[in-house]
Amino acid sequence: MTSSTLVSSPRANPPAPKRVAVRARQTLDWGSIGTYAALGAITIFCLAPFYWMVVTSLKGPDDIFDNSLLPLSPTLENYAAVFGAQNTFVFALRNSMIIAGSVTLIALFFGVTAAYAIARLEFRGKNVVLGLFLATSMFPGVAILTPLFQLFADFGWIDTYQAMIIPDVSFALPLGVYILVSFFRAMPWELEAAARVDGCTRGQAFRKIILPLAVPGVFTTAILVFISAWNEFMIANAMSQTAAAQPVTVAIAQFTGISQYDKPYGTQMAAGVIVTIPLIILVLIFQRRIVSGLTAGGVK
C-alpha cells in the first residue's frame, strides 16, 4: 500500500519545472498580445487623420459634412479642382521642390562637415558648440519672424526663394548635425587611422573612407531635412506673397471656392493627399536606412 502510493505520487503531481514553463509561456503570450494591441492603437491614432483626409477628398460638396467613414458617392472632382485654372498648385509644387531640395543640399554640406569636426576632431569647446546647435533648434521660429521679415524687406528678398531657404536651413541644420554626430562617433577610429597610415591626408580619409560608410546617416538626415522643409508653413506664408515663390503649403491654404465665402474643404483635402503620398512612399521605401541612421551610436 505504501509502496504503491510512493510509486504513483510522482505521476499524480507533474514536475515543478513544467508548470513554471507553462506559466512563463502564458505570460509571454499575454505580453505579446498587449504589445500588438498597443502598436495597433498607435497605428490607428497616427493614420486616422490621413484616412479622414482621403475620405473627405473623395466626397462631393454636398457630402463633406455627413461624417460618414466611407464616401457614399465617391468622386474625383476635388482632385480635378486642385489642378484647375483657379489654383496655382503646379507652380507651388515646383517651388516646394526647389526650396526643399536647396535646403536639403545646403544643410547636408554644412551638417556633414560640422558633425565630422565635432565627432572626430579634438578642439576646445566642441561640446559647447554642439550644445549651441541643439539650443538653436529649440528656439521658437515665431519669435524671429518679424525681424526676419524686416531684414529681408530691406534686402529686397520678399517673395524670393532665398527668403525661405535661409531660415529653413537655420532650423534644419541642428537636426542634421545632431544625427550625424551620433553616426560619426559610432564609427571605429581604426578605419581612419589605417587610411592615414596608407598615406591619405585627413581630407582624403574623410572623402574616401568615412563619408561612404556614413551613407545611411547622411541619407536619413537628407530625408528628415527634406520633409521638414517641405512641410514648413509659417515662414513661407510670411515671406511669399505671389505665386512666383509660394510653396505648396501656402498655396493650399489660399485655395478659393466657388464664391467668396465658400471654403473648399474637399479641394484642400485632395491637395493634402497629393502632397503627403510622396513623402509616405519615400519613408516606406527607405525606412531601413532611416532606422539605421537614427539608431547609430545606440549600440557600440
Q: How far apart are CA 152 and CA 164, in angstroms?
A: 10
Angle at 149 between CA 145 and CA 151, to 5 degrees: 115
User: How high is the pLDDT of residue 277?
Assistant: 85
CATH of domain 77-294: 1.10.3720.10
Cell of 168: 529653413
Cell of 8: 504513483
Nearest CA to 133 out of 90, 82, 171, 186 is that of 171
Q: How many residues does the chain have?
A: 300
Q: How far apart are CA 169 and CA 90, in angstroms?
A: 24
The parts of the chain modelled with pLDDT lower than 50 are 1-10, 22, 24, 259, 297-300
Q: How far apart are CA 83 and CA 237, in angstroms?
A: 21
Cell of 253: 491654404
pLDDT digits (tens, 9 = 90+) for 182-213: 888 887 778 888 888 888 888 888 888 888 88
Helical (H) or strand (E) element with 111: helix 89-120
Q: How far apart are CA 259 and CA 86, in angstroms?
A: 12
pLDDT digits (tens, 9 = 90+) for 19-47: 555 454 555 567 678 888 898 999 899 88
Distances (CA, A) of 290 to 186, 217, 224, 255, 276: 16, 8, 9, 34, 18
| Prediction pTM value | 0.79
